[in-house]
Amino acid sequence: MTVEIERIGETKDQLGESPCWDADAQAICWIDALVGTLWRLRPETGTLERHALPAPVGSIAPCCSNAVVVALKNSFARYDFASRTLEVLARIGVDHPDLRFNDGKCDPAGNFLAGTMHIHRQAGERVLGGLYRLRPDRSVEQLADDIAFANGPCFSPDGRTLYLADSLERTVWAYDYDAHGPLRNKRVFVETGRFDSGPDGATVDSQGFFWTVLTRAAKLARFAPDGELERLVDLPVTYPSSLCFGGPRFDRAYLTTISRSTRLEGRLKQDGGLFLIEGLPAAGRPPHCFADS
């Protein structure tokens, strides 16, 4: 099957990130992380909603209600689409100008996991932040304190393996995962230095294969559960950022891109757009939702 990639609409994000499929609304949601824009697009009708969040925004994930859970700079919140209101749920115990939340995803038990990025970190400086888990009762626990630039958290189909990238290390780690306990058995899953790029946003398809965006290489990479590279897909943008599966049968992938972040600036007119990818070798899986109701 031929892979087909096309731009959807005319949105242009500085730092498009965190796409997630809203199955109830049959809509794709994503953010412009630097501006604080939350988008929700219904592809079948072309209806586009624009919502405002406090910038910078790290990531979003669908809730079981008509809302998304949000990782802000150093707090978790819930944004209600109907009322357009934002409710802060919890804060982490670190407030530093060089630290903010980055990528996040929900686990099968309805918790939200989000990792931080420690910018301007000096050689030998202790890592601030790490990976945090927000529970539906609003309690927060720190799961890891050794990830400097967290990206692409996602789960194996059985929920027993967590994948988490440290983009600065150009490494995707795998952990044994228990929704009610600590992370165990940290190990290297994939190293992406050979592609001259760190791994960025990621997801797992219905066959258990791991997909990650290679931002500086402008490619998608698909890895088997044993970490072997299965394929690379060239992308028609300068700097892709993240992807998710969606659509009624989860056989479409949605890709966010960068036009101008704090470190990267695109060279192409379509940079910053949202893209639809069809013809991939496997469908995705329904997203896990934050159990807010």
Q: What is the DSSP annotation of 243-270?
A: EEEESTTS-EEEEEEBSB-SS-B--STT
> Is residue 200 among the annotated active site residues?
yes
The whole-angstrom separation of Cα 51 and Cα 62 is 15
Return the closest-CA partner of residue 202 out of 284, 134, 111, 99.
Answer: 284
Q: Residue type for 49, please?
A: E
Q: Residue 188: in which H helix or E strand, if any?
A: strand 184-191
DSSP 8-state assignment for residue 201: E
CA distance 126 to 142: 16
Quick one: tokens of 207?
């066959």
| Buried residues in 19-28 as b, exposed as e (16+ CB within 10 A) | bbbbeebebb
Q: What six digits make up the tokens of 40?
A: 């929700």
Tell me, what DSSP letter sits at residue 75? E
List all residues 6 or more positions away from 83 whose beta carbon is below 8 Å from its beta carbon.
none
Catalytic entry in 13, 32, 166, 200: 200
How many angstroms separate the first and last alpha carbons of the chain?
40
Cite the active site residues.
200
